[in-house]
Amino acid sequence: MFDTKILGTDEDSIAYAAKLLSQGEVVGMPTETVYGLAANAFDEAAVRKIFAAKGRPADNPLIVHISDISQLEGLVDRIPPLAVKCAEKFWAGPLTMIMPKSEKIPMVTSGGLDTVGIRMPSHKVARALISACGFPIAAPSANLSGSPSPTTAQHVLNDMHGRIPAIIDGGACGVGVESTVISFEGEDGIRLLRPGFISAEDLMEITPNVLIDKGVLEKLGENVKVRSPGMKYKHYAPKADVTIIDSSLEAFREYVKTHADNDTTLMVFTDSDCEGLDIPHICYGANDEEQAKELFDVLRELDIIGAKKVYARCPNKDGVGLAVYNRLLRAAGFQVVKL
C-alpha cells in the first residue's frame, strides 16, 4: 500500500516523478487525451506493476510514449512510409501508430505481440516527464480495468489510491478520449482500430485508403481474430444499464416519455433536450469536441449519483463524434434502440 501523493507540475515535481519511474515505480501522468499510468517501457518488472495496479489482462498491450521523434527508430523494426507522413502531420498529438516492434521492447509491454503502439503526446507535462526520464514510457489509461478512463487527477486517485506512489496533477485533459489507434496495411492503407480526436476524415488527408476496423462499431464474436486486444474487453461501463437511443431529438423525447420510470436518468447534450420532461438528466456537451471532453466524467458521475437506468442520446458517427460513439457504445454494452 502506498500513501499516494498528488504532485504539481513544477520542475521539482517532475524530477521527483522521473526519479520514481527510474526506480521502477508507476506514476499517474496527465496527457492531452486522458491520464496515463506510466512506467519505464524497458523495465519488465515496472511494466508488470502497471498491469497489477489496473487489474489489466496480460494480453492487452501498452502504448509506448516518446517525447522526440529520434526515439522512434530504436523502438520499431520498420517505419512504414505512411507512418512518417502521419508523424509529420499529427505528432506531437493524440495518434498511436502500431508498428513491428524491435527487440528492445519487452514482450510484457507489447502484451506478447510482435508489434508495438507508439505515441508522442503533445501535453507539456507528459513530454517534460519523458524527457527527464530519458527512456520511453509505457502508459495505458490510468483507470482500473473496465472503468471509464480518467480525465482528472481526482479520477486517477479514486481508482489508484494506495496502488501507486504518486500522481502528477496537470488539470483536466483537453481532449478527453484516448488517442486514435491505427495500423498500416500494404503500401497505402490505414486501418482505424480505435477512433479518437484525430478522425477518420483527418487520416484520409494522408491516404484515401482508410478502413474502419469492424471492432470500432460492432461487438466482436468470441472466435473473431481481434486486431486490437483492448477492443474485446468490457470497457467504460457504469453500474447503470445504459441504452443509446439512435434517433432524432423528437423521437428521443417521445421514447423516453413512454419508457422512463422512477429509476431513469437521461444522458443528453444540453438542458434544452429535456425541456418540459420531468426526468432527471445529465448533460455532456453541445458539440462533438465537448462531448469527447465530458464523456468519461459523466459516466463516472452516473455511478456517483447511483443511476440505475440510463437513456442516452446518440452522438454523431463521424469526425470526433465517432470516438464518442465508440466509447458510449461500450459503456452501453452495445445496447442501441434505433428509431
In the chain, the N- to C-terminal Cα span, in Å, equals 50
Q: How far is the CB of 174 from Mg ion (least distance, A)?
A: 18
The number of helix segments (H) and strand segments (E) in the chain equals 10, 16
Return the SS3 of 73.
Answer: helix
CA atoms within 13 A on the CB side of 280: 12
Identified binder of ligand TXA from the candidate list 13, 33, 122, 147, rule CB under 6 A: 33
Query: Is 326 one of the binding residues for Mg ion (CB under 5 A)?
Result: no
Pick from Mg ion, ligand TXA, none: which does 300 bind, CB < 5 to 8 A by kind?
Answer: none
Q: At its nearest, how many Å lie between Mg ion and the CB of residue 127?
A: 20
Residue nearest to ligand TXA according to CB distances in the complex: 230
Stretch that binds ligand TXA, among 77-85, 174-182, 261-269, 328-336 (CB under 6 A): 174-182
Rounded-to-integer distance, Cα 237 and Cα 181, Å? 21
Q: How far is the CB of 103 from ligand TXA (least distance, A)?
A: 15
Q: Are the C-beta atoms of residues 26 and 38 closer than 8 Å to each other?
A: yes
The answer to whether 109 contacts Mg ion (rule: CB under 5 A) is no
Q: Which is nearer to ligand TXA, 58 or 305 (CB)?
A: 58
Q: For the CB of residue 318, give the shortest distance to Mg ion in the complex, in Å.
A: 23
Q: What are phi and psi of 129, to 5 degrees?
A: -65, -45
Member of 141, 147, 152, 326 binding Mg ion (CB under 5 A): 141
CB 142 within 8 A of CB 150: yes
Give the nearer residue to ligand TXA in terms of CB position, either 7 or 307. Answer: 7
Q: Cβ neighbours of residue 105 under 8 Å, at least 6 residues apart?
A: 41, 42, 64, 75, 116
Alpha-carbon distance values, 327 to 51, 135, 274, 279, 311 (Å): 21, 31, 23, 24, 15
**Interaction partner, residue 119 (Mg ion, ligand TXA, none; CB < 5-8 Å by kind):** ligand TXA
Asked if 119 and 64 touch (Cβ cutoff 8 Å), the reply is yes
By the rule CB under 6 A, 140 interacts with ligand TXA: yes
Q: Is 291 in the site for ligand TXA (CB under 6 A)?
A: no
| Residue 139 within binding range of ligand TXA, rule CB under 6 A | yes
Give, in order, the Cα–Cα distances in Å from 83 to each of 61, 171, 180, 240: 19, 31, 14, 40
Q: Which stretch binds ligand TXA (CB under 6 A): 78-86, 90-98, 322-330, 331-339?
A: 90-98
Please identify which residue in 14, 25, 31, 213 interacts with ligand TXA, judged by CB under 6 A: 31
Name which of Mg ion, ligand TXA, none residue 63 binds, using a CB cut-off of 5 to 8 Å depending on partner kind.
ligand TXA
Q: Is 119 near ligand TXA (CB under 6 A)?
A: yes
Contacts of 222 by beta carbon, 8 Å cutoff, 6+ apart: none
Q: Which residues bind Mg ion (CB under 5 A)?
A: 141
Q: Which residues bind ligand TXA (CB under 6 A)?
A: 31, 33-34, 36, 60-63, 94, 96, 98, 110, 113, 115-117, 119, 139-141, 178-179, 181, 193-194, 228-230
